[in-house]
Every structure is written in C-alpha cells, then in structure tokens.
Amino acid sequence: MPEQPSSRRIPLTRKAILDAAVARADSHGIDAVSMRSVAQALGVVPMALYNHISSKQALLSGMVDVIVTEIPPLDPDQPWQPAIRQRVLAAREVMMRHPWAVEVIKSRTEATPAVLQYINELIGAFLGGGFTPELAHQVMHALGSRMWGFALDVFPTPATPDDPSQRAALFEVMRTAYPHIATIAVAGAHPKVAMLGLGCDNQTEFEFGLDILLDGFEARLQAAAVESPQQAPEK
Amino acid sequence: MPEQPSSRRIPLTRKAILDAAVARADSHGIDAVSMRSVAQALGVVPMALYNHISSKQALLSGMVDVIVTEIPPLDPDQPWQPAIRQRVLAAREVMMRHPWAVEVIKSRTEATPAVLQYINELIGAFLGGGFTPELAHQVMHALGSRMWGFALDVFPTPATPDDPSQRAALFEVMRTAYPHIATIAVAGAHPKVAMLGLGCDNQTEFEFGLDILLDGFEARLQAAAVESPQQAPEK
DNA sequence: ACCTGAACACCGTTCAAGT
DNA sequence: ACCTGAACACCGTTCAAGT
C-alpha cells in the first residue's frame, strides 16, 4: 500500500500544502520538493495542488512566507540599532533551522505578504529612529540579504578531501596558485576550522559585516542630522 | 534542414562549448541554456558535450569562469581602497553585460580557477594595504557578493501593472497594508523610477553600500594599527 | 468547486554501441 | 578518444473528464 487514503479525510488546503512542503524540505532537502512529491506526501494526485497553488514558483514563495512568519517581532522599546540588530539575528536563527531557506529566498523575485510585512516593520524601525525616507531607502538596499540573517557567501569552498595526505596536497596546490587565499584561510578567526575552511559564513563573520553596516548607517544618520537640522534631535 | 553539419568541421572543445553557452545565455536568457540546446547550437548530439564537460553544473561554473576573466586587472599603483573600489565597479560592469550572471553566480557552490584568481588578487590588495590575514579574512566575508559587483537584492518588486489606474489601486493597497514601504518607495534617490520602483539595485545604491563597507574596513584597519603597532605605519 | 487520469513537452544523465 | 542513439527516470503543466 504505497499511500494511505485514510489521511485524506481533511480537505486539501493551501496551508496544508505549504506545511507539507516545508516539512519535506526540512527532512529531505529542497531538491526533494516537487509538485509530485508534495502531492504524494499528501496522498493526492499532483494536479490537485493546482487548485490551491498556482505554480511551483508560488509553492516556493509560499514556503518562504511560512518561515518568515516564524521570525519574532521587533522590540518596540529599544532604539533602532539594537532593535534591528536583534531582529536580524533572530531571522538568522530561523534560517539556520531551515537550511534550504537561503537558497529559496535567493531565487525569489516577488514578495509575498509576510515578506512585505517584515520589510515594512524594518523600515518602520529606521523611520522611527530618525532616518529620512531617502536614507531609509538607501540603507534597506545596503542591508540587502543581511536583513534575512545571511550574507551571500560567494567565497566557495573547494571540496575538502577527507584523506589528510590528499588534503595536504590540495593545500600545497592552493598555496602556489593562490597564495593569498591560503594565507587568510589559515588565519580565520575560528581556529577549529580546518585549514581550508573557507566559505564559512559563521556567526562571528556575519556579525562583523552586519555591524559595519549598522555603524555606517548611524554615521550617515548623524551626518544628515548635522547638515539639515530642521528637526532638533531633543524633544 | 534543421542543423548544418558543415559547421562541425572543427572538433568540439571545452572552450567552444562554454562560448556557445555564454552566447546563448546572452541572447536567449539562462533558461534557454540546457545541455540539449547548447548541443543543438553546436550541431552536435547532447551526449557529445559530456566528453568535455562533466555535468550541467560544470557547464554553469565554466560559464562563470568565462566572464570572470573579462574583469580587468587591479591597478597596482593605487592604495587598496580606490584599487578595490575600482575593480569591484569594473566587475559590476561585466555583470551588467551578462544579466544572467548574477543568478548563476548565486547558485555556484564551488570556485573555479578564474574565480579563485580574482579572489586571490582582491585578498592580495587587502594584505598589501596593511590588513592582517585575520582582518582580511573578515572583510572578504563582509564584502560577500559585492566583490562581484552586485548586492543580493532581497527587496522584491511586486509586478507593476502597466495600466495607470490599476497601478494606483495597487499603490493604495500598499499604502494601507505596508505604509513604510510606500513611504520609502516614493522617496527613492532616483525620481525617474516609478512610485513602486522598489527592487532597484542601481548604481547609486550599490556604491552607497559598497562605500559603507570600505569605510568600515578602513576604520577597523586603523583601530588594529593603534592597538598593536608592532609595525609602524610610517616607513 | 475540487479532484483525477492521461498526456505533452521538456529535463539531465546512463549505457551500449559505433568509429 | 570521441561521438551517437536509444532509453531511463524524472520534471512542471495543460486539457478533458469526472463528482
């Protein structure tokens, strides 16, 4: 019995489909999420999904919506910088729970409601912190993917062989062909990482980049306040 | 006659395949690049490609290699900051010439030789500018996709209807549901962009984010020099 | 209104055969 | 060593039919 129709008592619903897709991605990886496989997991024929979700792309966007909803809200009692920092790091935790999410978010081209709401709230924090709309626009773009808690890590790791002697040979090749890469590879901030542990987008490095951006935003905010103090900062 | 075998006098070669794939992506978009379509463009059967390129993924990586080679070299006569800034902006121009490149680079997981060489040279510029290996490691990660001249623009544009009255209706919906987004949308630095012209990753915004990062790198470099002046900055 | 079944037009890739 | 032909095991999606 390859499927159990007894579980199909409850009618198919958009939410049930998205939850099944997220569950499947969590357990089997995003490549295991196809219209056919999700339908099978629900005990239903592939075309049944199309009554609730218009396309594979819509399914992926809906999956993002589901997990973006997991991001905890902004703390309204904090100044903009710690509030945003905290929320971005919270978003990062959600992304770490769903390792497929980064790849899917990178491929999205249209925003869904939960995504728009998250963005809207971040902008609200900037505006509430004294940013002009123009500056808020700029900093949101500068923040980019870091608003979701990840940095595009285009620093690809060559597959590191398990065999130590092969690994040493590879490192020797790297050191002669790309000496600077070899230099910083061994000088990573995290000594536990193997010598070719590039491609590491770990917590320290994420926060390093995030804080440079947030500090830069603060500096631009101050500069703007100085050159056009139409509204005094004290109230 | 659906194909011309006369063009198949020259033997198939890895470079010929990559060039054909790049040409096809430039003219028809990345979705038109399949093992089958590239083979057809070369007047050859799909499986013939596998003698020179091991997989579709290898084809995509090879395509990136081809265009990364188009990025002009670093100017060795300049200090690290203008040199890197200039080269990143040059990389950006290459990416603009090949609109498919951003999407493909985002999906790569392994570095190819030209990519490693480019990265190696950037690191060399940081090290030559006085960065410690540790700090160079950090700033390379913080730079992230911006080293390729693009920022991951996770700020997706809702499809804007052509019809003005529909567009006005959409904007009204946005303004009530996501007021802050609407606020900064109309306050973009580029007045020519339509009111819902979010998702714009234009030159000004790219440079805004890039300069925040580069300035932050400089500040960290100075801070490190102050706290451990084992090598005096003056010579 | 929702689900089904069959089919269409594709994919990347393996395998065995040709030269 | 390189190219071919046929096949395999998938895709997303359309269409017409069922209830």
| Cα distance between residue A140 and residue A116, in whole Å | 13
Q: Do B212 and A216 touch (CB under 8 A)?
A: yes
Q: CA angle, corner B99, sides to B95 and B100, nearest 5?
A: 105
Give phi and psi for A35, each to the nearest 5: -55, -40
| Cα distance between residue A71 and residue A121, in whole Å | 12
Nucleotide nearest to B35 (CA to C1'): C12
Residues of B in contact with A140 (CB under 8 A): 155, 184
pLDDT band for position A187 (cuts 50, 70, 90)? confident
Give the pLDDT of residue B6.
Answer: 42
Calculate the alpha carbon distances from A214 to A89, A208, B219 in Å.
13, 10, 14
- What is the 8-class DSSP label of residue A31? G
Mean pLDDT, residues A104-114? 91
| Cα distance between residue B210 and residue B85, in whole Å | 8
Give the pLDDT of residue B165.
Answer: 79
Task: Suggest the residue from B56, B64, B71, B141 to mutate for an interface test with chain A (most A CBs closer than 10 A).
Answer: B141
| Cα distance between residue A38 and residue A56, in whole Å | 11
| pLDDT tens by residue, A131-160 | 999 999 999 999 999 999 999 876 666 666
Give the pLDDT of residue B188.
Answer: 62
Q: Indicate if the pLDDT at residue B159 is higher than 70.
A: no
Q: Indicate if the pLDDT at residue B101 is higher than 80.
A: yes
State both tokens at B48: 């013939």
State both tokens at A126: 């900037």
Give the pLDDT of residue A224.
Answer: 85
Q: Are A55 and A112 in contact (CB under 8 A)?
A: no
Lowest pLDDT segment from A47-51, A88-92, B7-11, B101-105: B7-11
With tokens 């005094």, the residue in question is A232
Mean pLDDT, residues B81-104? 97
* Residue with smallest Cα–C1' gap to D4: B45
Lowest pLDDT segment from A42-56, A95-109, B185-199: B185-199
Query: Could you say which of A152, A183, A215 has the minimum Cβ distance to residue B106?
Result: A152
- What is the 8-class DSSP label of residue A161? P
| pLDDT tens by residue, B171-220 | 888 999 999 999 988 776 454 444 334 445 589 999 999 999 999 999 99
Calculate the alpha carbon distances from A182 to A79, B81, B114, B164 in Å.
41, 22, 16, 56
With tokens 């160079």, the residue in question is B136
The domain ranges of chain B are 14-54, 72-149+204-227, 164-196
State both tokens at B43: 């007047």
**What is the maximum alpha-carbon separation in chain B?**
74
Query: What SS3 state is found at B159?
Result: coil
Nearest-neighbour CA in chain A from B213: distance (Å) = 6
Q: Indicate if the pLDDT at residue A232 is higher than 60.
A: no
Give the pLDDT of residue A11.
Answer: 82
Q: Indicate if the pLDDT at residue B125 is higher than 80.
A: yes
Q: Which of A65, A155, A113 is nearest to B144 (CA)?
A: A155
- CA-based nearest residue in chain A for residue B212: A216
Q: Are A7 and A43 in contact (CB under 8 A)?
A: yes
Q: Are B22 and B67 in contact (CB under 8 A)?
A: yes
Q: Indicate if the pLDDT at residue B114 is higher than 60.
A: yes
Mean pLDDT, residues B36-52? 96
Query: Could you say which of A120, A142, A185 has the minimum Cβ distance to residue B181?
Result: A120
Give the pLDDT of residue A235.
Answer: 37
- What is the 8-class DSSP label of residue B157? P
Mean pLDDT, residues B76-85? 97
Give the pLDDT of residue B149.
Answer: 95
Instruction: Identify which has the larger pLDDT, A153 or A175.
Output: A175
Calculate the alpha carbon distances from A121 to A76, A117, A147, A177, B177 in Å.
10, 6, 11, 47, 11
Q: Are B73 and B35 in contact (CB under 8 A)?
A: no
Q: Which of B202, B194, B106, B105 is nearest to B158 (CA)?
A: B194
pLDDT band for position A5 (cuts 50, 70, 90)? very low
Q: Which nucleotides of D are covered by protein (CB under 7 A)?
A: 2-6, 10-16
Lowest pLDDT segment from A6-15, A41-50, B117-126: A6-15
Mean pLDDT score across all residues of chain A? 87
Nearest-neighbour CA in chain B from A170: distance (Å) = 14
Residues of B in contact with A142 (CB under 8 A): 151, 205, 208-209, 212
Query: What SS3 state is found at A167?
Result: helix
Q: Indicate if the pLDDT at residue A184 is higher than 80.
A: yes
Mean pLDDT, residues B125-151? 95
| Cα distance between residue B87 and residue B84, in whole Å | 5
Give the pLDDT of residue B160.
Answer: 67
Q: Which amino acid is at B71?
A: I
Q: Which of A150, A147, A169 is nearest to A160 (CA)?
A: A169
Task: Suggest the residue from A30, A56, A104, A152 to mutate for an interface test with chain B (most B CBs closer than 10 A).
Answer: A152
Mean pLDDT, residues A190-213? 70
Helices (H), B73-153: 80-97, 101-107, 113-128, 133-143
Instruction: Identify which has the larger pLDDT, B41 or A165.
Output: B41
Residues of A in contact with B187 (CB under 8 A): 132-134, 136-137
- CA-based nearest residue in chain A for residue B178: A120
pLDDT > 70: percent of chain A: 83
Q: Which of A206, A226, A224, A209 is nearest to A137 (CA)?
A: A224
pTM confidence score = 0.88
A175 Cβ neighbours under 8 A, 6+ residues apart: A182
Lowest pLDDT segment from A64-73, A180-189, B101-110: A180-189
Residues 36-95 of chain B with CB under 7 A from strand C are 36-37, 46-47, 50, 55-57
Mean pLDDT, residues A198-207? 75
pLDDT band for position A164 (cuts 50, 70, 90)? confident
Mean pLDDT, residues A41-62? 97
CATH number of the structural domain A14-54 = 1.10.10.60
Nearest-neighbour CA in chain A from B209: distance (Å) = 4
DSSP per position, B35-70: HHHHHHHTTS-GGGGGGT---HHHHHHHHHHHHHTT
Q: Indicate if the pLDDT at residue A13 is higher than 70.
A: yes
Residues of A in contact with B123 (CB under 8 A): 180-181, 183-184
A132-167 per-residue burial string, b: 16 or more CB within 10 A, e: under 16: bbebbbbbbbbbbbbbbbbbbbbbbebebeeeeeee
